[in-house]
Structure 1
Amino acid sequence: MQPLELPTFDTLRCELEAGNLHLWLQRPSARNAMSLKMVEELLALFERIEPRRDVRALVIRGSDGNFCAGGDIKDMASARATPAGADTDPFFELNRAFGRMITRANRLPQVVVAVLEGAVLGGGFGLACVSDVAIAVEGVQFGLPETGLGIPPAQIAPFVVKRIGLTEARRLMLLGSRFGAEEALHLGLVHYHSSADALDEQLAAVLAQVKRCAPEANATTKSLLLATETMEHEALLDYAAQQFAAAVRSDEGGEGTLAFIQKRPPSWAQ
């Protein structure tokens, strides 16, 4: 497999290290608010890495101490300025573009780790909800401010409900609530609560655990977990058995079995 090559982005910064792709949202002057340009660049990045099993984890964080402060109000203003009689509704297209991006993020076969600092609002909150592992850093502020601005949290609502449940999603969205790391941990929104000083150690521990798991097995497991939301029970179990049989016969399955017998780490963990 050829080394991963990434284009130069205007709103993202990427660094590949030991099979982990570290991604920084890079609009610090706007607290990394998500512009349409950023959405398009994220989609391009996800498309590039989706087939790559040499990328074991995607670590998403924001630059300069903020994760993401939601959608970019400037894009809303630009959409409002679109002349009447346009073929498509610019507000629909703007909102739906974010939905396509977050859906793609949710389905990535890699382990998605979100490092949540500073502002995690609106669309940033939604992005946190599709991570496989989320680390909240001391001082973080989560919030769903959309209803206070006269709009619904349209594209993120399904992902928030799936993450924390309908009852809590109702409370947070309908009150436009803000809260910190402790409540996020209680809600199940995040998995770890770290001080800024201990963040590097916590992240390294998570990535070390990712390394122990076979990349194709992780990708298959994620697909099975997502299938629980759409497939009928017996059909899902048939599909799962098919995936299990294929995995046992695969190179990964053979290497995992041999490594266990020989009492050594499998090749992907070395």
Structure 2
Amino acid sequence: MPDLPHKHGVIVRLANGVLFATLHVPATRNALAPEVVAALADAVAQAEADPQVRALVLRGAGGIFSAGGNVGNFQARLQAGARADDPVAARNRQFGDFMQRLAALPVPVVAAVEGAAMGGGMGLASAADIVLATRDARFALSETTLGIIAAQIAPFVVQRLGAVATRRLGLTGERVGGQAAVAIGLVDQLAEDSAGLDALIAEWLTRIGRCGPHANRVFKTLVGRCGQEPVAPLLDEASLLFAQCMRREGAEGVAAFREKRDASWTARFDADTVRAAQAVA
């Protein structure tokens, strides 16, 4: 499977139409330093631009998803002092730009969480469409325990969990384990361990692989507009999108259904393929 350029602690591989982006910064427990976020943004741009990409999988190497923001960088930014063009605010807002692009990515995003998903790491998971985790995973909005706030990830956590649960987590810094994360809607399904997580990722990617790649892109974009635009004109446009999809992939999909066969776009995954795509050495 081909590797895309590997830089700044993110390993990116393309396998069977799925882009795997694996955080690999062991010294900081996969913290989201600016250069790491920039590398993740490059992976998102690749998935946006390449029509052959059918999904993006985010995972952390070494049994840790992400410890969140790089606290070491926080101190350096504070030394710059406050001014009208506040560098602390500017850097924070850049992360928000990335989060918006990730959430709006028109292909399914799968977050596979082991170990810690703290602060910004929990934000990454919240922006995904499907969140899978090991039973011993731990999530927290830990920023307030440092006297700061979960600023740029807040809208995405609220969208995933609702305001009540987000307030509870953010106002207490509570750490939530895998089972509790399922109960509040943060995690969709649990695996017992890392090997089980590989198998679970393969299972969900196989489900995605049954869907028309173009139809998935159109549907996710349409859902993102629901609740943001007046219903009647959105439905007018949706009818045209439906007709376009029918003439594009729909003919093959309907034929495959009638002939009791797989559609031409069908892709299947197994745990070995997933494991290889996320290997760090």
TM-score bracket, normalised by the shorter chain, equals: over 0.9
Q: Is residue 132 of structure 2 the alignment partner of residue 142 of structure 1?
A: no
Distance of 2:42 and 2:76 partners within structure 1: 23
State the secondary structure of the residue aligned to 2:52. Answer: coil
Q: Is residue 260 of structure 2 the alignment partner of residue 263 of structure 1?
A: yes
Shift of 1:51: 2.2
Partners of 1:39 and 1:97 within 8 A in 2: no
Q: Which residue in 2 is equivalent to 1:61?
A: 59
Partners of 2:21 and 2:40 within 8 A in 1: no
Q: Which residue in 1 is equivalent to 2:119?
A: 122
Of 215, 218, 237 in structure 2, the residue corresponding to residue 239 of structure 1 is: 237
- Supply the AA of the counterpart residue of 1:223: T
- Supply the AA of the counterpart residue of 1:248: M
The TM-score normalised by the length of structure 1 is: 0.93
Of 97, 101, 113 in structure 1, the residue corresponding to residue 98 of structure 2 is: 101
Distance of 2:2 and 2:100 partners within structure 1: 23
Q: Larger relative contact order (C-alpha < 8 A, sep ≥ 6)?
A: 2
Residue-pair matches, total = 266
Partners of 2:32 and 2:68 within 8 A in 1: yes
Distance of 2:70 and 2:233 partners within structure 1: 42
Of 207, 210, 213 in structure 1, the residue corresponding to residue 211 of structure 2 is: 213
- CA-atom RMSD in angstroms: 1.7
Identity %: 39
Shift of 1:240: 1.6
Distance of 2:3 and 2:231 partners within structure 1: 40
Shift of 1:83: 5.8
- Supply the AA of the counterpart residue of 1:76: F
Q: Output one character per residue of 1:1-28: Cα deviation in whole Å (capped at 9) or x when no partner.
A: xx98733312101122121121111111
Which has the larger displacement, 192-201 or 25-34?
A: 192-201
Q: Is residue 35 of structure 2 the alignment partner of residue 11 of structure 1?
A: no
Shift of 1:84: 6.2
Q: Is residue 176 of structure 2 the alignment partner of residue 173 of structure 1?
A: no
Distance of 2:198 and 2:152 partners within structure 1: 32
Q: Which residue in 2 is equivalent to 1:76?
A: 74
Of 173, 196, 199 in structure 2, the residue corresponding to residue 198 of structure 1 is: 196
Partners of 1:15 and 1:23 within 8 A in 2: yes
Distance of 1:173 and 1:158 partners within structure 2: 12
Q: Structure 2 unaligned runs (5+)?
A: 268-281
Which has the larger displacement, 29-38 or 44-53?
A: 44-53
- Supply the AA of the counterpart residue of 2:27: S
Q: Structure 1 unaligned runs (5+)?
A: none
Partners of 2:3 and 2:14 within 8 A in 1: no
Against the structure 1 CA distance between its residues 242 and 120, is the aligned structure 2 distance closer, same or farther, given a 3 Å change threshold?
same
